[in-house]
Copies of this chain bind each other. A is one copy, B any other.
Amino acid sequence: MKKSLGAKTLLYPTPVCVVGTYDREGLPNVMTAAWAGICCSSPPCIAVSLRKATYTYGNIMERKAFSISLPSEDYIKQADYFGMASGRDEDKLSRAKLTAVKGDLVDAPFVKEFPLALECRLLHTIEIGLHTEFIGEILDVKADEGCLGPDGLPDIEKIRPIMFSPEGRKYHGVGRLLGNAFSVGREV
């Protein structure tokens, strides 16, 4: 039997994305967002939703650019911290002893120590409610060479991304390989 839980933001899994921006003074800032997802294949785009109150919101509005860095499991503490503190109050990267690298193609920094980074230019801004959705065109993806598989693509088991459970507020890692997409369904 199914139980009705009401109107809640429940989805499993959600990614743990660290949004990188520059502020007015040109200082790099990062914040962790769980409300993100790919939203178009061509042009390749990612959507990330932020509250107006965040420091990152103003930075994106001003610079029209952001990055998404994906922390590996090794950086779970730093990623969690990036979601709790504000760049208005402290230099989060310095405190976490992590390094900002300026994007090649956009006016935004990514986190050097994290295995994957997306450079995005702002395409659309959609006011929804408490959150504003920023749709960014992915101009380039950068991955640690050690995280690539034999096909030259990132291997999720080497990236070891973190997933977030909304409401329950827990982080989990990636589990076992279940099968190949566009393949296992042929048996139905």
Interface residues of chain A, those whose CB is within 8 Å of chain B, are: 1-15, 17, 34-47, 49, 68, 70, 73, 76-84, 95-96, 104, 112, 116-118, 123-124, 126, 128-131, 133, 135, 137-145, 148-149, 151-157, 159, 161-188
Query: A156 and B181 in contact (CB under 8 A), knowing A5-B141, A187-B77?
Result: no
Look across to chain B and name the residue whose beta carbon is closest to the beta carbon of A70: B12
Look across to chain B and name the residue whose beta carbon is closest to the beta carbon of A10: B141
7 new A-B contacts, CB < 8 A, other than A4-B141, A35-B40, A40-B130, are A2-B117, A6-B141, A11-B118, A14-B15, A82-B185, A84-B182, A154-B167
A185 to chain B: which residues have CB within 8 Å? 77-84
Query: A172 and B168 in contact (CB under 8 A), knowing A13-B163, A39-B131?
Result: no
Query: A171 and B175 in contact (CB under 8 A), knowing A135-B128, A186-B81, A188-B96?
Result: no
Query: A130 and B178 in contact (CB under 8 A), knowing A79-B185, A154-B168?
Result: no
Which of B3, B117, B144 touches A148 (beta carbons < 8 Å)? Answer: B3
A176 engages B173 (CB within 8 Å): yes
A41 to chain B: which residues have CB within 8 Å? 9, 35, 129-131
Which of B8, B38, B171 touches A184 (beta carbons < 8 Å)? Answer: B171
B155 engages A168 (CB within 8 Å): yes
A152 to chain B: which residues have CB within 8 Å? 5
Query: A10 and B118 in contact (CB under 8 A), knowing A40-B49, A80-B182, A95-B188?
Result: yes
A116 engages B180 (CB within 8 Å): no
B171 engages A39 (CB within 8 Å): no
Which of B6, B15, B44, B184 touches A9 (beta carbons < 8 Å)? Answer: B44
Query: A12 and B171 in contact (CB under 8 A), knowing A4-B140, A7-B44, A184-B77?
Result: no
